[in-house]
Structure 1
Amino acid sequence: MTLAQKTLEIALAQVGVEEMPKNSNSGPEVEIYLRSVGLGKGYPWCMAFVYWSTQQAALQLGMKNPLKKTAGVLDQYNSRPLLLQTKPQPGDVFIIDFKNGTGHTGIVDRVTASAIFTIEGNTNDIGGREGYKVSKRKREIKSIKGFLRL
């Protein structure tokens, strides 16, 4: 099994995890994701969720995590140029840049011609970047800045 496949498997198992209380950036699982990148509760956690999922996969496979230990979406994107891809595949990390210093990320589950289906942390039912749970989402490929291949 590849790192991308194992990361996707681990992320899928987290679908349904919610903040406690809602909209607090805290809760038992959320705080584990945040601690994986050296943060305490209260911070946005989409990148921490991706890093934690990849770290768990790497540990299980006896590999090194290729991602930077950061909760910053754009920091991750800018620090990993060798991982950048333009055509997504399952297990890739997608990056959205909102052009105001903020971003959002998650893991690609499957790909169609115009959309990706994803697993995302810190989202909600309308696909926001400051949500309260781990959810499956659908996003248009044209809205994505790039993809990191694990």
Structure 2
Amino acid sequence: MTLQSKALEIAQSQISVQEIPKNSNAGPAVEKYLKSVGLGKGYAWCMAFVYWSIKSASIELNVTNPLAKTAGVLDMYNKMKNKRVTNPQPGDFFVMDFGKGAGHTGFVEKLLPNGKLQTIEGNTNDEGSREGYEVARRSDRKISQMKGFIRF
């Protein structure tokens, strides 16, 4: 099993995990994700979720975690220049840039028709917020909305 497929499997196992209480950036699972990047509760956690999933896969497969240890989406994108790709595939993670340092990320699960992606994201919800309250599967992200993708 590859690191990408294992990380995606771990991310899938977290679907429906929610903040406790909602909209708090807290709760046992969320705090576990944040702790993996050295943060306590209360921070945006989409990148921490991706990092935790890949770190967990790395431990299970006994390989080195290739990611920089950061909860910053754009910080990760900048630190992973040598891992950037423009053609997404399942297991990559996407990077969105909303300006003024605000970003969002999650895993590409599947390529869909019409330039869309099926994704698994932390700190989102069914309405698509980048400040949501759960790990969710989304099917409405467009490749054209992405700053880029990281293949690790």
- TM class by shorter-chain length? over 0.9
What's 1:121 paired with?
Answer: 122
TM-score by length of structure 1 reads 0.98
Percent identity over the alignment is 59
Letter in 1 for 2:27: G
Q: In the aligned structure 1, how far is the partner of 2:10 from the partner of 2:73? A: 20
What's 2:75 paired with?
Answer: 75
Q: In the aligned structure 1, how far is the partner of 2:127 from the partner of 2:84? A: 27
Task: Give the SS at the match of 1:98.
Answer: strand
Structure 1 unaligned blocks of 5 or more: none
Q: In the aligned structure 1, how far is the partner of 2:101 from the partner of 2:43? A: 15
Structure 2 unaligned blocks of 5 or more: none
Q: Does 1:144 pair with 2:146? A: yes
Backbone CA RMSD of aligned residues: 0.6
TM-score by length of structure 2 reads 0.97
1:12-56 deviation line (CA, Å, top 9, x unaligned): 000000000000000000000000000000000000000000000
Aligned length: 150
Q: In the aligned structure 2, how far is the partner of 1:117 from the partner of 1:82? A: 24
Q: In the aligned structure 2, how far is the partner of 1:104 from the partner of 1:27? A: 20
Which aligned segments of 4 or more residues in structure 1 are displaced greater than 6 angstroms?
none
* C-alpha displacement of 1:100: 1.8
1:86-97 to 2 correspondences below 5 Å: 86-97=86-97
* C-alpha displacement of 1:124: 1.0
* C-alpha displacement of 1:112: 2.5
What's 1:20 paired with?
Answer: 20
Q: In the aligned structure 2, how far is the partner of 1:33 from the partner of 1:13? A: 14
